[in-house]
Each structure stands twice: as structure tokens, then as C-alpha cells.
Amino acid sequence: MKTIYNTILKDISNGKKLLAVLIDPDKFSIGNTSSFIDKVNASIATHIFVGGSTVEEHATNKLVGQIKEYTNLPVVLFPGDVSQISEKADALLFLSLISGRNPEYLIGKHVEAAPKLRNSNLEVIPTGYILIESITKTAVETVTKTKPLLRNNIQLIRDSAKAGELLRMQLIYLEAGSGAKEPIGHDIISSVKKEIKIPLIVGGGIRSIDGLKSAYNSGADMVVIGTAFENDESFFDELKKE
């Protein structure tokens, strides 16, 4: 059953914009789960993503279990590594780093994950993950040992997204990197949006309502925000449900 993906498609076709709150188990205090998730529930967030570039083994599983106790929102794994796959989540972004040329992140990790996913109940969503350059080197670049795509090479970014769609990936995720100084700009988002029919996710460095709106207006179907909530939970007050 493709419940979560189908709901994303349905919401988007109804003109809804989606917001995922990203929780990195490595940077999150598990004792704060109930109070943090209460704020997520009261906000316009539609999804909770869990994952990080480097996470201690078992931390993800434990955290996802806690989060599920306090919310009905879909909890989606956004894993930096195979060890972050947890059966307690609802879905998994099966990320292929199509901006890079490191076979480990194009197919290697996926083969490693296959035994875990063979009999799993997780909804697996193949996702073309495209890292865009940032002023400072991001964790994704360091961990995956890949080069991001340059911001001024919009054609290459667009062609990469198209290739992902032709490979039947179900989502394209444009990533500036967690805590990026500059979010991905209008020109890149709008150009990629014109190229593909599958949903477009945008994340990295978005830390204000204006930044959120700008990504939506450029063509993002879903925005992912992590660091801004980690730094200041009062940001949730600006994103309350009407």
C-alpha cells in the first residue's frame, strides 16, 4: 500500500503545500519529545522526517518510537545510513544521491538495505536526492564524498531531476544541506518544477516564513525545515494552524 505517497499526490493535486519538520536524532534530546511534538501538532506541518548524516546506532529507532506516541502525522525516515532504518516509522525515503557519482550512495547502500526491507512494512519511496552547492561544505558532501551541483548550472540540475524522474523515482529532493547559509533560489526551484511531474521537495537553510513562502511560490510542493526549529522552537508560533 502506498498510503503516504498517494496522500502526497492527492494533497498536491488539490493545491496543498506540505511542510516536513526534520528531527535529527543526533541533535535532539529525547526527553523533549512530547513538548516538541505538541508544537509540531499545533503547526501547519504535515509530515515529520527523522534522520541525519551521522546518527548513533539505535538512536533513530528509539526516537521514532517516542514520536509515534505523541502524533498521528506520518513519520518518514530520511536516513543518512542503513542503520537508521526503523520499522516503527511509516515510510522511508529511499534516497539515491543522483547529483553525485559515488556508487555507494547511488546503489551500494540500497543493496545493503535490501535484507532489512525485504519483509518490511515500511512504505518505501524512491527519491532522487540532488545536493546543490552551499557557501560552506555541508555534512552531506563530507559524508558522501560527492560534489554538489553548482548553483549556476541550472541545466545540469534540471537534467539530473529529469533523469531521476525517467528512472521512475517518485520524488525529487533539492537539498542545500542542513543549516545552509543560503536556501535554494527561485530560479533553480522553478526550473526544476517545470521539468518534472513528480512532487518536488526543497530543503536546507529555510528559516523564516518568507523563506517558506518563497520556496512554495517558486514551485516546491513540500519544504523541509530542521535547523530553524532546533535553534528556536518559537518559530512554531508563527506556523500555527488557523
Residues annotated in a binding site for sn-glycerol 1-phosphate: 173-179, 204-205, 226-227
- Judged by CB under 6 A, the residue of 18, 19, 21, 22 near ligand 1GP is 22
Does 100 engage in binding with ligand 1GP (CB under 6 A)?
A: no
Q: Which segments are annotated as binding site?
A: 24, 53, 173-179, 204-205, 226-227
CA proximity to 80, closest of 60, 100, 64, 103:
60
Shortest spacing between CB 121 and ligand 1GP, in angstroms: 25
Tell me the window of 5-13, 144-152, 211-219, 221-229 that interacts with ligand 1GP (CB under 6 A).
Answer: 221-229
CB atoms within 10 A of CB 110: 17
DSSP single-letter state for residue 15: T
Rounded to whole angstroms, what are the CA distances from 12 to 55, 110, 170?
32, 28, 14
Q: Which segments are annotated as binding site for Mg(2+)?
A: 24, 53
Cα within 13 Å of Cα(28), Cβ side: 31
Does 224 engage in binding with ligand 1GP (CB under 6 A)?
A: yes
Shortest spacing between CB 208 and ligand 1GP, in angstroms: 11
Rounded to whole angstroms, what are the CA distances from 123 to 62, 99, 118, 161?
19, 24, 12, 22
Shortest spacing between CB 11 and ligand 1GP, in angstroms: 20
Which lies closer to ligand 1GP via its Cβ, residue 1 or residue 93? 93
Please list, in sequence order, all residues whose beta carbon lies within 8 angstroms of the beta carbon of residue 30, skipping any fewer than 6 positions away: 62, 63, 66
Find out whether 204 and 134 touch, Cβ atoms under 8 Å: yes
Shortest spacing between CB 68 and ligand 1GP, in angstroms: 21
The contact pattern for ligand 1GP, residues 170-209, with x = CB under 6 A and - = no contact, is -----x--xxx----------------------xxxx---
CA proximity to 205, closest of 185, 233, 235:
185
Which lies closer to ligand 1GP via its Cβ, residue 90 or residue 175? 175
Residues 119-178 contacting ligand 1GP, CB under 6 A? 175, 178
Find out whether 210 and 238 touch, Cβ atoms under 8 Å: no
Instruction: Quote the CA–CA distance of 233 and 135 in Å, as a whole number.
Output: 25
Which lies closer to ligand 1GP via its Cβ, residue 6 or residue 67? 67
- Judged by CB under 6 A, the residue of 67, 149, 227, 239 near ligand 1GP is 227
Which lies closer to ligand 1GP via its Cβ, residue 220 or residue 225? 225
Instruction: Quote the CA–CA distance of 28 and 154 in Å, as a whole number.
Output: 35
Residues within the interface to ligand 1GP (CB under 6 A)? 22, 175, 178-180, 203-206, 224-228
